[in-house]
Amino acid sequence: MSTNKLVNKVVIAGGGTAGWMAAATISATIGRRLDVTLIESDAIPTVGVGEATVPSLLTIHQLLKIHEADFLEATNATYKLGIMFENWTRLNHKYFHSFGNSGMSCWAAGFHHFWVRAQQQKMAKDYADYSLETLAAEKGKFAHMQDPNLNYAYHLDSSKYGQFLRGIAEKHGVKRVEGKIDNVNLDPQSGHIESIRMESGQVIDGDLFIDCTGFRSLLLGEALGVGYNDWSEMLPANAAYAVQTQSHRPAVPYTRSIALDAGWRWQIPLQHRVGNGVVFSTNFKSEQSALDDLLQGIDGEPITDPRLIRFTTGQRKEFWHKNCVSVGLSSGFIEPLESTSIHLIQQAIIWLISLFPTDGIDTNQVNRFNQQMTVETETIRDFIVLHYHLQERDDHEFWRYLREMKVSDRLQQILNLFQNNGTIVEEQDDLFAENSWVQVMMGQGLIPKQYHPIVDMMGDRDLNMFMRQQENVVQQTVSRLPSHTQFIQHFLNQP
Ligand code: FAD
């Protein structure tokens, strides 16, 4: 499937977060030698959710030379230190998945090994007490810090973020065409996309097409017929209701994820409002019941009408096919539990730039891209499945089904290794590092039976001191931090 047609003209179809992030990043990095056009329709709204992120967003912001204060102001963003999972393990239980490392310093084995031994000897506090991000989140505090470091991401207004990225893209010469796509024209011989015909009659040709048309997947799915791997059996959620509310209390620096009888709901605090939603499976819960859950759970007056969004969890069989690369929802959707979609958008863009087919599309580039995106998506999928699978809830068929279902061999191996002796084997392509897996597995009730033998090199007294020291550092550091909202105001008002 190699072509030696040079790639000069890039056409991005769709102007949601995926489209504008692709346009901004490509134009700001390799755009000088390219002609980049983005097509979007004012009549077809973006999905309008996607407001919680993970720390990797900071990397793309660095690449785009985004000044944090400009971004916070333009998107009404707040800081996010992690996710509070409520009622996931069992009712009236909660735990925090923070972005940081628990235990400030590590000695030979992961901190959780020390914690397991200390806990067996009744010298340990809750695992969360050794996490800076968790305590800061619980106390509603935040600041930029270096040593120790506070790891963070953002909550942002998705439509404002799209506009913000559009500004960057247009500054770097991206042309915007407004209107509805009417048809995707294929070359009869090669099967490559030749051009896009707009309803206005305008024809936009290109060498490389990036499909950012959201769930419609107009180019890769519809025109090129690339199939879909359906993951509904292990991730049965297939719908969400979303509504925005006024905020009437200070924004907390974390996302709330509250498990329901059959599904869960989110709360994402921004500077000016709160994003709320409920995620559910229509096989286990009616739309009306999900809507009732959402409206009963909100904390403030709605400022939008609740909106129903349907989806099928899974991923396209290929992310790059012929001369079309899909980025964003057009390539698949896991589900929003760990706020990973924007991260996957970034990864697709970064990999596309790394493998950019300047001198023509080559099978090796296409295969490498597809392998990479498949692995990254599947590792995230396993992490999400973990939350649903590892729990003790017995109050609804939904949870019983998820607990009893078969998970991937990889996830089963991770669970077995951890259960036996706390082992986590970090994988290079996994967004979630050791402490994420530890926090979620222990948060969901799986405590290792044994710890690594190297921990026994430390005597009881030293271990006790070590644990206290870790806890003290966390407490003292957090006590010096300003409140989250004070920090944002101060940061935005800096000259
Ligand atoms: P969209 O936003 O749907 O944009 C599609 C674009 O294509 C639009 O500009 C539209 O005008 C254009 N288009 C479509 N058809 C045509 C046509 N015929 N002609 C012209 N233009 C067309 N991600 C996170 O990272 N964190 C989260 O917390 C999170 N929460 C989510 C919650 C839910 C319930 C859902 C469903 C998703 C969530 N996501 C989240 C995912 C996130 O919303 C998306 O990854 C992100 O918004 C990117 O969407 P997109 O740009 O691919 O598609």
Per-residue pLDDT tens over the stretch 274-307:
999 999 999 999 999 999 999 999 998 999 999 9
Spatial separation of the C-alpha atoms in residues 97 and 55, rounded to whole Å = 13
Mark whether 341 and 224 lie in a shared domain: yes
Mark whether 345 and 218 lie in a shared domain: yes
Mark whether 420 and 466 lie in a shared domain: yes
Check which CATH number belongs to the domain holding 28 and give it. Answer: 3.50.50.60
269 occurs within a structural domain: no
Domain that holds residue 166: 9-78+156-231+316-379
Token pair 């919680």 is found at 52
461 occurs within a structural domain: yes
65 occurs within a structural domain: yes
Mark whether 135 and 177 lie in a shared domain: no
Nearest Cα neighbor of 336 from 54, 86, 18 is 54
Spatial separation of the C-alpha atoms in residues 149 and 143, rounded to whole Å = 10
Q: Is 237 in the pocket of ligand 1 (CB under 6 A)?
A: no
pLDDT for residue 236: 98
Mark whether 338 and 467 lie in a shared domain: no
Q: How far is the CA of 181 from the centre of ligand 1 (A)?
A: 16
Looking at the predicted structure, is the pLDDT value of residue 174 above 70?
A: yes
Mark whether 104 and 226 lie in a shared domain: no
Q: Is 335 in the pocket of ligand 1 (CB under 6 A)?
A: no
Q: Is 41 in the pocket of ligand 1 (CB under 6 A)?
A: yes
25, 39, 42, 46: which to mutate for ligand 1, most atoms within 8 A of CB?
46
54, 315, 341, 344: which to mutate for ligand 1, most atoms within 8 A of CB?
341
User: Is pTM beyond 0.80 here?
Assistant: yes
Mark whether 369 and 432 lie in a shared domain: no
424 occurs within a structural domain: yes
The model's pLDDT over 40-78, given as tens digits with 9 standing for 90+, comes to 999 999 999 989 999 999 999 999 999 999 999 999 999
Mark whether 340 and 367 lie in a shared domain: yes
17, 157, 199, 254: which to mutate for ligand 1, most atoms within 8 A of CB?
17
Which residue among 359, 379, 399 closes a domain? 379
293 occurs within a structural domain: no
Mark whether 160 and 29 lie in a shared domain: yes
The model's pLDDT over 450-492, given as tens digits with 9 standing for 90+, comes to 999 999 999 999 999 999 999 999 999 999 999 999 999 999 9
Q: Is 15 in the pocket of ligand 1 (CB under 6 A)?
A: yes
Overall number of domains in the chain: 2
Instruction: State the pLDDT confidence band at 103, using cuts at 50, 70 and 90.
Output: confident
Q: Is 14 in the pocket of ligand 1 (CB under 6 A)?
A: yes
363 occurs within a structural domain: yes
Tokens linked to 170: 């247009």
21, 39, 47: which to mutate for ligand 1, most atoms within 8 A of CB?
47
Q: Is 309 in the pocket of ligand 1 (CB under 6 A)?
A: yes
Spatial separation of the C-alpha atoms in residues 495 and 46, rounded to whole Å = 34
Which residues pair with residue 177 across a beta bridge?
39
Nearest Cα neighbor of 198 from 40, 9, 331 is 40
Mark whether 161 and 139 lie in a shared domain: no
Mark whether 329 and 207 lie in a shared domain: yes
308 occurs within a structural domain: no
Average of pLDDT values for 222-226? Answer: 98
Nearest Cα neighbor of 337 from 373, 389, 298 is 389
35 occurs within a structural domain: yes
Which residue among 329, 364, 379 closes a domain? 379
Mark whether 467 and 414 lie in a shared domain: yes
The model's pLDDT over 300-321, given as tens digits with 9 standing for 90+, comes to 899 999 999 999 999 999 999 9
Q: How far is the CA of 330 from the centre of ligand 1 (A)?
A: 8
Q: Is 198 in the pocket of ligand 1 (CB under 6 A)?
A: no
ipTM: 0.99
Which atom of ligand 1 approaches the CA of 180 most closely? 19
